[in-house]
Amino acid sequence: MTLGPLYHWSPRDRLSSIKRLGLVPGRRNVRGPVFHGTTDNPSNSENEDLGAGEFTQAGVCFSLDPATAWAYSHAVFNVPGTYDLWQVWLEQTDEVHVLPMWGDRIVEVRVRNRVRKARLVWVGERTIA
């Protein structure tokens, strides 16, 4: 199966890093650490299979279109700021995981390897006041 271009929204705080390194899985949240459980007791996780402590995403999340990428990422948190939209085409060497929770539909694709800057196209930006 071949997918068309995929889309990823990132906070503007990441722009210089993305221009330098591309999209890198496992980076810390730009707004501060996110913990499973609570910040004062990260081992108190409601979902034990997630593990305890600070959460970092093991892959870069993409969707088939900008609106879906937005709906399943920053629209959920509604944090004010400027966000950049990136487009990428998958390569044979990418470690791709299509999340099965939506049945036959492809809603989210995770890539577990770094996506180099040369493969990225900046498409636009969105600002939430």
Tens-digit pLDDT profile for residues 77-86? 788 899 999 9
The residues spanned by each domain of the chain are 6-25+57-128
What pLDDT score does 3 carry?
85
Contacts of 72 (CB under 8 A, 6+ apart): 61, 63, 107, 108
Neighbouring CB atoms inside 10 A of 97's CB total 14
- Answer whether residue 94 shows pLDDT above 60: yes
Q: What is the architecture, at CATH level 2, of domain 6-25+57-128?
A: Alpha-Beta Barrel (3.20)
69 exposure class (CB count in 10 Å sphere: 0-12, 13-18, 19+) = buried
Query: Does the pLDDT of residue 47 top 70, yes or no?
Result: no
CA distance 31 to 71: 19
Global pTM value? 0.79
Q: Name residue 13's beta-bridge partners.
A: none
Q: Taking all residues of the chain, what is their mean pLDDT, rounded to a whole number? A: 83
